[in-house]
Amino acid sequence: MASLTKNCCRLFMASVCLCLVSSLAELQRFTQQAKANGSLSFLVVGDWGRKGLYNQSQVAYQMGSVGERLDIDFVISAGDNFYEDGLTGVDDPAFEDSFSNIYTAPSLQKQWYNVLGNHDYRGDVEAQLSPILREKDNRWLCLRSFILNAEIVEIFFVDTTPFVNEYFINPKDHTYDWRGVSPRDDYLANLLKDVNSALKKSTATWKIVVGHHTIRSAGNHGVTQELEMQLLPVLEDNNVDIYINGHDHCLQHIISTDSLIQFLTSGGGSKAWQCDVKWWNP
């Protein structure tokens, strides 16, 4: 009897360990209720935090009005949340000056789901991920990569900055905060594996992937080759419907005959570019 109990105990412990390991490897999940009739609406904004300047406040005002008309359920930020160099720490007043005190319209008092952009990685990246910011403004939720289950749609948020070689090889006069990312190869391999397996398991009617960087874009930054090579095949394999990004400071909707994925850019949160088009021949 005694040895049986001991074996059971060992088995139990082994399974507890396995659970811990597998939950560590999985992307964190959040849930968002759809409306009573099953529909959902949300806004996406990227490239915004400039203390209201460069038309950030004007865009925020229009978001408030559109948000009310659409009766939005939540807001997505596609990254580059705080210019020029992210937040200096959890006490950086830019959090209030560029977020809480800017998006004040009643319709925008919903959950915000945020990813990081390259400019965010130039500051204290962990500040934006900190629960302290969620206490300061409970709309704020920023993680590197995570999943939002909203009944008819599952949204997969992917941390795209660590894919871009230039930030590592030729950072110019910028300093990137790679804490939590190195060793980079392992980070990227695990991320791609997690996104792939989460997409495979998904039974949602719509699958949307959100990242900061472009995959298809005719804007100034153009196509992000690292994502085209590494992330796009995962999206293609798993019948993703829509990829949404920021990075290029404009609005775009790109479809092509060689892919079923629709590519949306929403990077006009501030300092939107005019006539800054880089023609690209797919």
* Known binding positions for Fe cation: 47, 80, 83, 118, 212, 247, 249
List the interface residues with ligand NAG, window 94-153 (CB under 6 A): none
Nearer to ligand NAG, 72 or 90 (CB): 72
- 3-state SS assignment for residue 142: strand
Q: Which residues contact 25 (CB under 8 A, 6 or more apart)?
A: 190, 194
Annotated binding site: 47, 80, 83, 118, 212, 247, 249
Residue (35 or 278) nearer to ligand NAG, CB: 35
71 binds ligand NAG (CB under 6 A): yes
Q: Could you count the other beta carbons within 10 Å of the beta carbon of residue 230?
A: 16
DSSP secondary structure, 212-223, as one string: SS-SS--BSS--
* Residue 277 DSSP one-character state: B
Q: Does 276 bind ligand NAG (CB under 6 A)?
A: no
Is the CB of 178 or the CB of 206 nearer to ligand NAG? 206
Nearest-approach distance from CB 52 to ligand NAG, in angstroms = 11
Pairing of strands 259-266, 42-45: unpaired
| 221 is annotated as an active-site residue | yes
Distance CA 141, CA 26 (A): 18
Q: Does 271 bind ligand NAG (CB under 6 A)?
A: yes
CA–CA separation, 116 and 164 (whole Å): 13
Residue choice 6, 10, 29, 35 for contact with ligand NAG (CB under 6 A): 35
Q: Which stretch binds ligand NAG (CB under 6 A): 32-40, 107-115, 191-199, 218-226?
A: 32-40
Catalytic-role residue among 119, 174, 213, 221: 221
- Residue 164's DSSP bridge partners are none
Q: Are 68 and 103 in contact (CB under 8 A)?
A: no
Q: What residues numbered 39-58 form the site for ligand NAG, per CB under 6 A?
A: 39, 54-55
Q: Are strands 146-150 and 153-158 parallel, antiparallel or unpaired?
A: antiparallel
DSSP class of residue 34?
A: P
Pick 192 or 204: Cβ nearer ligand NAG = 204
Pick between residue 54 and residue 61 the one whose CB is nearest to ligand NAG.
54
Closest CA to 199 of 234, 228, 173: 234
Least spacing, CB of residue 37 vs ligand NAG, in Å: 4
In the complex, the smallest distance separating the C-beta of residue 269 from ligand NAG, rounded to whole angstroms, is 12
CA 168 to chain centre: 20
Given the rule CB under 6 A, which of 31-39, 110-118, 167-175, 233-241 is the region that contacts ligand NAG?
31-39
- Considering only 37, 170, 203, 281, the residue that binds ligand NAG (CB under 6 A) is 37
**Cα-Cα-Cα-Cα dihedral of 226, 228, 233, 235, to 10°?**
110
- Residues near ligand NAG (CB under 6 A): 35, 37, 39, 54-55, 71, 271
Which residue numbers are catalytic? 221
